Chain A
Amino acid sequence: MEKRLLTLNVNGQDYELYINPKTLLVEAIRDHIGLTGTKRGCDTVSCGACTVMIDGMAIKSCSVLAMQAEGYQITTVEGLEVNGKLAPIQKAFIDNGSYQCGFCAPGMLMSAQALLNENKNPTEWEIREGIEGNICRCTGYNSIVRAIDGAAKGKYTEAKS
């Protein structure tokens, strides 16, 4: 096995890594780059805790090789905030109590943001479909759906700290 050099662009910053090609994207983000907001849950493409955005699309970083993510813009939950202030979707999650244990939240936020990027005005059903790949074991789905709905309706347009 030959180690490989690659450059990953995460939250607008380039990181040069020298890694074993079997390194998963979630491992590169957490263990090599040190951004631990992205969570590692089931490791079998089921739970969605490791969801990040690649060029604005939600994907599960436990099932993508880091090598495959080169050349894309990767966004993790740390990349949602703007100038140190929470993004509208993050504020909406706080206001609606959409965190209980909080483990699913980074992935939920990324799926929610990816949904809102492509559908500015989702129905409740579309919101539920948008987070179908994310499991919340505290079953706080209703508060999560309310938060996404609130953010979509522009209740949180101003990012507040």
Chain B
Amino acid sequence: MINDFNYLKPGTLKEALAMYAEHEDCKVICGGQSLLIVMRQGMISPEYLLDIKHVKDLGYIKFDAKDGLRIGATTTHRAIEKSDVIKKIYPVMISMENKLASIQVRNWGTIGGNLAHADPAGDPGAVLIALKANIKIGNAKGERTVALEDFFVDYFETVMDHELVLEVHVPAPEPKTGAAYQKFNLLESDMGIVATAASVTLNDNGICKDVRVVLGNAGSTPIRVKRIEELLIGKAYDENLFAEAGKIASEDCEPVADIHGSEEHRRHILGVLTKRMLKQAWEEARG
């Protein structure tokens, strides 16, 4: 049973920020596809619920070749999945969204809500960190932008201090960049038992200039594996190196054991996914 709460429905972002500032014990709902579940389980029972689903100022997808991609917090997963510009410039986001929960959830759930919920098994976190995304957050006092990799603090915890998610910013990809994402699960629309996102940028000679590997559901937050970056930058295509990177991923993750898999199993799968995603991203970067 969901506990009683007072319902607040602002019309604009300004109103939303003012209402949020007024109430200490207040949770923000947008699509509510994660929030209502934890409220139903009685895990949280806020006194106020601030509904920003209909705040129009935050529903947008903008792309500029220099500035990159800006997605408003209340943009639905489905809008991202159907965006032509994202399909063209950031295809990995489309394949990630395609497998995020079900169509019904993507029709109502939002990117801002997904990130604010900070479930380490969430799909967008790992992919967006691999794409070097930033997140704009704020309250009535002001706004700030943080790198998404610094946004997640722990299970379901972020750096937000009574702030709202306002916007996700993804820089324009450098030339010769490829990215890939895969989650391991039994049903395609389930959350990943583990997941790996990789992004690779090559120079004109096909040497790795930049790389990121981010592990999903492998710890309390998405994990960026910096040791793999040290291993691969400056190197040419070499499948043995990808295998070595996989070994590093298995070592540097911190997965828990649960009904879906033991810790050993998760470490093993993360190694396999890392090897495969690096190969796939590298081949895409080569074009």
Of B96-104, B198-206, B244-252, B271-279, the one contacting chain A is B96-104
Interchain CB contact under 8 A, A65 and B102: no
Contact mask for chain B residues 89-128; partner A; CB cutoff 8 A; 1 contact, 0 none:
0000000000001111101100000000000000000000
**A2 neighbours in B (Cβ, 8 Å):** 6-7
- The answer for the CA separation of A159 and B260 in the assembled complex, in Å, is 46
Interchain CB contact under 8 A, B36 and A63: yes
| B189: Cβ under 8 A from any A Cβ | yes
**B7 neighbours in A (Cβ, 8 Å):** 2, 4, 21, 65, 67
Which residue of the partner chain B has the closest CB to A1?
B4
**A88 neighbours in B (Cβ, 8 Å):** none
Of A54-62, A73-81, A94-102, the one contacting chain B is A54-62
Residue numbers of B with Cβ under 8 A of A are 2-7, 9, 29, 32-33, 36-37, 40, 49, 51, 53-54, 78, 101-105, 107-108, 188-189
Interchain CB contact under 8 A, B32 and A64: yes
Of A32-40, A41-49, A142-150, the one contacting chain B is A41-49
Interchain CB contact under 8 A, B108 and A59: yes
| A111: Cβ under 8 A from any B Cβ | yes
Interchain CB contact under 8 A, A45 and B188: no
Not counting A54-B107, A63-B105, a sample of 15 additional A-B residue pairs whose C-beta atoms are within 8 angstroms of each other reads A20-B4, A21-B49, A22-B2, A24-B36, A57-B107, A58-B103, A60-B108, A63-B33, A68-B53, A114-B103, A132-B103, A133-B104, A133-B105, A133-B189, A134-B102
Interchain CB contact under 8 A, A58 and B107: yes
Chosen A-B contacts, 23 in total, with CB atoms closer than 8 Å, are A2-B6, A21-B5, A22-B3, A22-B5, A44-B37, A45-B37, A45-B102, A45-B104, A54-B108, A57-B107, A57-B108, A58-B107, A59-B104, A59-B108, A60-B104, A63-B37, A64-B108, A65-B7, A132-B188, A133-B102, A133-B103, A133-B104, A133-B189
Interface size of A in residues (CB-CB distance below 8 Å): 30
Of A24, A111, A132, most buried by chain B (CB within 10 Å of CB) is A132
Min CB–CB distance B44 → chain A (angstroms): 13
Min CB–CB distance A5 → chain B (angstroms): 12
Which residue of the partner chain A has the closest CB to B29?
A65
- The answer for the CA separation of A21 and B104 in the assembled complex, in Å, is 22
Min CB–CB distance B99 → chain A (angstroms): 9
Interchain CB contact under 8 A, A58 and B104: yes
| A90: Cβ under 8 A from any B Cβ | no
- The answer for the CA separation of A65 and B54 in the assembled complex, in Å, is 13
Min CB–CB distance A54 → chain B (angstroms): 8
Interface residues of A in 6-36 (CB under 8 A from B): 20-22, 24
Which residue of the partner chain B has the closest CB to A115?
B103
| A130: Cβ under 8 A from any B Cβ | yes
The 7 closest A-B pairs by CB, nearest first: A133-B102, A21-B7, A1-B4, A57-B107, A22-B2, A133-B104, A60-B104
